[in-house]
Structure 1
Amino acid sequence: MPADKDEVRPVPGVVVQADDLLTRDGTAAFLEADDRVELLPAEEVGEADVLIVLTASVSGKTLSLMSRAGQASGGRIRIVLVADHISEQQLALAVNHGLVSFLVRPYTSFSQILAASVEAHRGRAVLPPVLMNMLLDRMRSIQRTESPSGLLPVELSQREVDVLQLLAEGMDTVEIANKLSYSERLIKSVIQAVIKRLGLRNRTHAVAYAIRMGIL
């Protein structure tokens, strides 16, 4: 049964989608046995907090699945993608659809998928540095080729810009707090405030947005 809209689910509701039944059922069985998540049927994706997508190759069908999940959840769902590889263009599109984490399938265990799902619900991304750099390079390229007049106005404090810059460099919240001499709690608060104010999905999306707007 889907959770009541006024009821706060104690753990993230997770939906699993995969290319084949064996992968889907195996992942689902592992998650169902752990009390840190609540496994939901595919038809309740609109009520889910996290969507796990497992595929050998990312395709237009994969991206359409992500897009439909985002629409069904009102843009709220966070997506964990497990695949062999992903192109630069696919990565940029996937982030816009709600991608939070990417795991390389041949090197990923059920435990890592579970951990990434829990972290995704907390707003924390798992993205290999090479993919983060790929995404940032693409956003910078888009920003250079677009007219500044087409950019939306945005106001960020210097502290917010500093935090985003360090996120873009691959630092986590502890490292940023040490670098800027702030508490980790304050850094997390700054990041969440930026994400909420700009209507973004996650930290990766916030960094990409800042680059697109010419802030970084």
Structure 2
Amino acid sequence: MSDFQSVIRIIVVAASPVIRMGLSAMLEDNPKFIVVKSVSDIDEIVELQADVILLDWNETDYELIKQQFIWATIIIVDEFADFNLATILAAGVKGILPQTSMESEIIAAVEAVVSGLIVLHPQVINNQQLLKETNLQILTPREIEVLQMLTNGMSNKLVAQNLHISEHTVKFHVSSIFQKLDVSTRTEAVAVGVRLGLIML
């Protein structure tokens, strides 16, 4: 979202008119948001422009969700059975929430993905089977700090000075980042970190 834009524009997609109306009403109660369109099918958003798509996901959306969207997309899922986390993230999805999410969680997720972050609900992170199938290992806050500094081209020595830790500890963090992101160079780590929304250029 650009600096001059004060309102977050959202498209709500849900097959159920009840869910559509509920999500739209909840979002529009917040002065930071405006729902530019509320539609029943993901195909209807092709020509529309928004900052975030909030999608009530189900099996019928599975093939379509693989497409690369222009906007940040948050999906709300009923359950995690038959849920391919790797495919969903590769499609450009920035947030995954269960249907049991509270209003405050949905609002926080919208604001986070607009800021360039990825939002995974604790139910997703705690689902070990999903993480195992995806080979996704979450970076620690400190590792994300280190990765962001690598993005800025900092050496291990500079990273150590900025974080007030030893170079040995920095090397440990870098090694852990490489392992978790399945990369072998700093450039690859930065590229994967950006794609996953862990860091911003």
TM-score (norm 1): 0.55
Matching residue within 83, 91, 96 for 1:97: 91
Distance 1:33 1:19, change over 3 A: same
The aligned counterpart of 1:26 is 22
The aligned counterpart of 1:3 is none
Contact 2:118 2:196 in 1 (8 A): no
Larger radius of gyration: 2
Report SS of the residue matched to 1:19. Answer: coil
Report SS of the residue matched to 1:101. Answer: strand
* Partner Cα distance (2:83, 2:55) in 1: 18
The structural deviation recorded for 1:48 is 1.5
* Partner Cα distance (1:28, 1:10) in 2: 19
Contact 1:80 1:102 in 2 (8 A): yes
TM-score (norm 2): 0.59
Matched, 1:116 2:114: no
What root-mean-square deviation, in Å, do the aligned CA atoms of Structure 1 and Structure 2 show?
3.7
* Partner Cα distance (2:99, 2:124) in 1: 15
Count of residues in correspondence between the two structures:
154
The structural deviation recorded for 1:87 is 4.1
Matching residue within 72, 78, 95 for 1:84: 78
Matching residue within 171, 174, 180 for 2:140: 171
Structure 1 unpaired stretches of 5+: 1-5, 141-166, 184-192, 205-216
Matched, 1:47 2:49: yes
Tell me the percent identity. 21
Paired residues for 1:1-216 under 5 Å: 9-41=5-37, 42=39, 43=44, 46-55=48-57, 58-59=58-59, 61-68=60-67, 70-71=68-69, 73=70, 77-87=71-81, 90-106=84-100, 108-129=101-122, 131-132=124-125, 134=129, 136-140=131-135, 168-172=137-141, 177=145, 182=162, 197=191, 200=195, 202-203=197-198
Contact 1:195 1:203 in 2 (8 A): no
Higher helix share: 1
